[in-house]
Amino acid sequence: MSSYAITGASKGIGREFVRQLAADTNNTVLAIVRDLKSPGISELASNHPNLHVIKGDVTDPKSILEAASAAAAITGGKLDVLIHNSNAVDLATAFSNPTQLPFDAQATRAIFEPSLSTGVYGGIWTTNAFLPLIEKGVQKKIVHISSAMADLELIKKTGVSYSVPYSVSKAGVNVQVTKYAAELAPKGIKVLALSPGWVDTWEGEKPPQLLQANEIMLKQFQAVEPELKGQIQPEESVRKSLQVIARLDSETSGLLLSHNGNNTRWF
């Protein structure tokens, strides 16, 4: 039996991680969400006795500590795999280039804050809160969901100059992961930054501006992967990501890998 905790579990990739992991009744799955009444996760929990929904906000140190305490009560104080998936962006400026960011301290901080709070600060608080459980687990794995948008070579080759706060925060995540891997290696703990691919997590009908943005991104991404046809679905992303997590060892600890298990094929 393995135990997993997933933050940002109420929708998108996070919820798909929960769905696939809970499908194996041998797993104990802890879904960390800000809203316990989130319909998607509530429905899953009602159909899977091995799934436990825990309230926790990764941007609030006290809240995530309480979530770790609740998790420990369920698992007997141990955890095999922590997947820090939480993410947030300022959609209004998501496609702004760096030269378009405002000469206004407060406005600039507000643009960067959602990504930094969930990915960088939240990554530290979540990892540190659950670390005592990981230390007592069997697999001893910590995974932070990152992005190829923080890969320098990809940015250069594709010319993707927008999504600045998101990319900067993911670059910070990658460095943090490597720092954690270096510190925790003597304890046998493996830490990974994992890019899930270009995933379609939009629920409902896509607005015209998003469809247009996706077309632009596809052409840019095809500069590095000419055969790319478009986004993949959460099911494929998570299925492949779980295979990468299963193979995580001391050799790959501290790296940024794609859902394909390497750092050359991002899509």
What global pTM score does this model have? Answer: 0.96
Q: What is the pLDDT of residue 210?
A: 86
Q: What is the pLDDT of residue 47?
A: 94
pLDDT over threshold 90, residue 223: yes
Domain-wise residue ranges, the chain: 3-205+233-258
For 92-133, the pLDDT digits (tens) are 888 999 999 999 999 999 999 999 999 999 999 999 999 999
pLDDT over threshold 90, residue 39: no
Q: What is the pLDDT of residue 18?
A: 98
For 42-96, the pLDDT digits (tens) are 899 999 999 999 999 999 999 999 999 999 999 999 999 999 999 998 888 889 9
Q: What is the pLDDT of residue 28?
A: 98
Active-site residue list: 147, 166, 170
pLDDT over threshold 90, residue 138: yes
**pLDDT: is 38 or 106 the higher one?**
106
Q: Taking the domain 3-205+233-258, which CATH number applies?
A: 3.40.50.720
Count CB-CB contacts under 10 A for residue 212: 12
User: Can you give the three-state secondary structure of the chain, one letter per residue?
Assistant: CCEEEEECCCCHHHHHHHHHHHCCCCCEEEEEECCCCCHHHHHHHHHCCCEEEEECCCCCHHHHHHHHHHHHHHHCCCCCEEEECCCCCCHHHCCCCHHHCCCCHHHHHHHHHHHHHHHHHHHHHHHHHHHHHHHCCCCCEEEEECCHHHCHHHHHHHCCCCCHHHHHHHHHHHHHHHHHHHHHHHHCCEEEEEECCCECCCCCCCCHHHHHHHHHHHHHHCCCCCCCCCCECHHHHHHHHHHHHHHCCCCCCCCEEECCCCCCCCC
For 180-206, the pLDDT digits (tens) are 999 999 999 999 999 999 999 998 888
Q: What is the pLDDT of residue 229?
A: 96
pLDDT over threshold 90, residue 38: no
pLDDT over threshold 90, residue 215: yes
Which residues pair with residue 5 across a beta bridge? 30, 82
Q: What is the pLDDT of residue 101?
A: 96
